[in-house]
């Protein structure tokens, strides 16, 4: 197996985002957490206060021999509404923003190209494309939430866009 690669996506409630990435071919592991803000070691309560600048995000490790960053980024855009600003369905707040936290120039270029494609198709994409910063893992009860509870996402529905 090739060296695993890493990606970080934020698309509303991290439970639903993780749910879809866990099921994607080539994904080795996922972890929910917080990134993009200024407070070190934030808690869920801190992030929900709206004062940390963090987004709820998912860190994805994948096998580059079985999938690509582009395939994962397309899944990201097709499992949430990238036109919404600071919300996803009933979840409202800066922590629910649509964002790609890129780890290198290749990831940035893929994200920007996919946004251009979606805009050409008429989508008013609000997704931020931002350099990755520290990823702070969320509390253990948030990890693999839907797998643990047997529930399914309420605001992350697959919609073909490409």
CB 162 within 8 A of CB 125: no
In angstroms, the CA 5 to CA 72 distance is 11
What is the residue range of 68's domain? 5-149
Is residue 12 in some structural domain?
A: yes
Instruction: Report the predicted TM-score, pTM, of the whole model to 2 decimal places.
Output: 0.96
Average pLDDT over residues 92-100: 97
Is residue 156 in some structural domain?
A: no
pLDDT band at residue 104 using 50, 70 and 90 as cut-offs = very high
Tell me the two tokens of residue 115: 């946004």
Is residue 160 in some structural domain?
A: no
Which secondary-structure segment (H or E) carries 28?
Answer: strand 27-35
Q: How many domains does the chain have?
A: 1
pLDDT of residue 12: 95
Is residue 158 in some structural domain?
A: no
Q: What is the CATH number of the domain that holds 92?
A: 3.30.1060.10
Average pLDDT, the chain: 96
In angstroms, the CA 33 to CA 56 distance is 6
| Catalytic annotation, residues | 13
Whether the per-residue pLDDT at 154 is higher than 90: the answer is: no
Query: What is the number of residues in the chain?
Result: 162
Is residue 155 in some structural domain?
A: no
């Amino acid at each position: 197996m090739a060296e695993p690669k890493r990606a970080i996506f934020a698309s509303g409630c991290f439970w639903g985002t993780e749910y879809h990435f866990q099921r994607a071919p080539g994904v080795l592991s996922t972890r929910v957490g917080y990134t993009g803000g200024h407070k070190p070691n934030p808690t869920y309560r801190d992030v929900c206060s709206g004062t940390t600048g963090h987004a709820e995000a998912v860190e994805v490790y994948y096998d580059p021999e079985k999938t690509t960053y582009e395939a994962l980024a397309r899944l990201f855009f097709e499992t949430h509404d990238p036109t919404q600003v600071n919300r996803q369905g009933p979840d409202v707040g800066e922590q629910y923003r649509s964002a790609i936290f890129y780890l290198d120039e290749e990831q940035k270029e893929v994200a920007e190209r996919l946004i251009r494609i979606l805009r050409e198709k008429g989508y008013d994409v609000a997704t931020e494309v931002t350099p990755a910063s520290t990823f702070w893992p969320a509390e253990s009860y948030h990890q693999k939430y839907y797998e643990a509870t047997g529930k399914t996402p309420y605001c992350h529905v697959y919609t073909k866009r490409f």
